[in-house]
């Protein structure tokens, strides 16, 4: 089940978060369950990759184990690594009110999509046009009143057109993910795949500290209630 959607906002990691992980960084992560993008952080812990959704309970963290990924039968094993890598990208910042004129038709965007029961999820779209309007000023800050015609490429409204305000628009970054924790993990799995018949033994050595609890697939050093999800979600 995907995390309960909330409006994206920046939030400094709490002291408890910094204690439970190392090498924490912030990215966008696409949930395989609903195709929506969420703010997330990743960390290496016990030899596994831990994906932590921002502002959601720890029970919804996802764990990816190199041994499980490397054990996928050929020829799909390399596709599994590529698919996991594609679910990460650099964080998409909200569109600045003063930068609306910088947008051009075709610009990729990540736009909030209101759903039933007050849910708000972020899906990809591209800009078709900007409907300009005079900007105002609130508390000394510029406020954009323009409307943006977007074409949804993902989510429940994929293919449809909608006009949205600046408060719903985030800008997708074109730069590749430069996250040492994520890149090291994925490169390590790729190296395991290159070992052919030795994948199983090598992967077990690489995850020596990752002890799965009986029946739960939870690392031995993880707090109670954690679960691990290997590869794609069902």
Structural domains of the chain ordered from first start: 15-90+176-206 (no CATH), 97-171 (2.30.30)
Determine which of 81-90, 96-105, 147-156, 198-207 has the lowest per-residue pLDDT on average. 198-207
Question: Which residues, including other chains, have CB under 8 Å from residue 76's CB and lie 6 or more apart?
Answer: none
Our CA dihedral for 14, 18, 20, 21, rounded to 10 degrees, sits at 130
- Residues above pLDDT 90, as percent of the chain: 50
The least confident of 47-51, 127-131, 201-205 is 201-205
Look at residue 65 and tell me whether its pLDDT is greater than 70.
yes
Give dist(CA 39, CA 30) in Å, integer: 9
Over residues 78-105, mean pLDDT? 92
Backbone dihedral angles phi then psi of residue 100, each to the nearest 5 degrees: -60, -30
Taking alpha carbons only, the member of 75, 25, 72, 32 closest to residue 50 is: 25
pLDDT at 227 over 80: no
Residue with tokens 């698919």: 83
Can you tell me the mean pLDDT for 72-87? Answer: 76
Q: Which residues contact 24 (CB under 8 A, 6 or more apart)?
A: 13, 17, 18, 41, 42, 43, 52
Q: How confident is the model at residue 202 (pLDDT cuts 50, 70, 90)?
A: very low
Flag whether the pTM goes above 0.75: no
Instruction: Report the 3 state secondary structure along 62-88.
Output: EEECHHHHHCCCCCCHHHHHHHHHHCE
Percentage of the chain surpassing pLDDT 70? 69
- With cut-offs at 50, 70 and 90, classify the pLDDT of residue 52: very high
Per-residue pLDDT at 201 exceeds 60:
no
- Write out pLDDT tens, residues 27-44: 999 998 899 999 999 999
Tell me what pLDDT residue 199 has.
43
Q: pLDDT band for position 194 (50/70/90)?
A: confident
Query: In this structure, are residues 158 and 152 in contact, taking their beta carbons and an 8 Å threshold?
Result: yes
**Distance from C-alpha of 98 to C-alpha of 119, rounded to nearest angstrom:** 28
The confidence band for 71, taking pLDDT boundaries of 50, 70 and 90, is: confident
């Amino acid at each position: 089940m995907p995390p309960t959607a909330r409006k994206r906002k920046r939030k400094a990691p709490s002291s408890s978060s910094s204690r439970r992980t190392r090498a924490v960084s912030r990215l966008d992560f696409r949930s395989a369950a609903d195709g929506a993008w969420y703010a997330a952080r990743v960390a290496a812990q016990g030899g596994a990759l831990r994906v932590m959704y921002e502002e959601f309970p720890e029970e919804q963290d996802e764990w990816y184990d190199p041994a499980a990924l490397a054990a996928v039968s050929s020829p799909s094993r390399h596709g599994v690594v590529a698919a996991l890598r594609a679910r990460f990208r650099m964080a998409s910042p909200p569109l600045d009110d003063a930068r609306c004129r910088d947008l051009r038709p075709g610009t990729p965007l990540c736009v909030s999509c209101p759903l039933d029961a007050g849910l708000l999820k972020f899906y990809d779209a591209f800009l078709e046009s900007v409907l300009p309007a005079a900007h105002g000023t609130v508390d000394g800050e510029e406020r954009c009143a323009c409307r943006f015609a977007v074409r949804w490429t993902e989510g429940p409204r994929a293919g449809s057109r909608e006009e949205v305000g600046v408060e719903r628009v985030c800008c997708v970054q074109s730069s590749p993910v430069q996250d040492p924790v994520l890149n090291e993990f994925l490169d390590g799995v790729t190296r395991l795949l290159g070992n052919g018949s030795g994948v199983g033994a090598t992967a077990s050595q690489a995850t020596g500290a990752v002890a799965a609890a009986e029946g739960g697939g939870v690392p031995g050093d993880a707090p109670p209630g954690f679960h691990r999800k290997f590869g794609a979600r069902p």
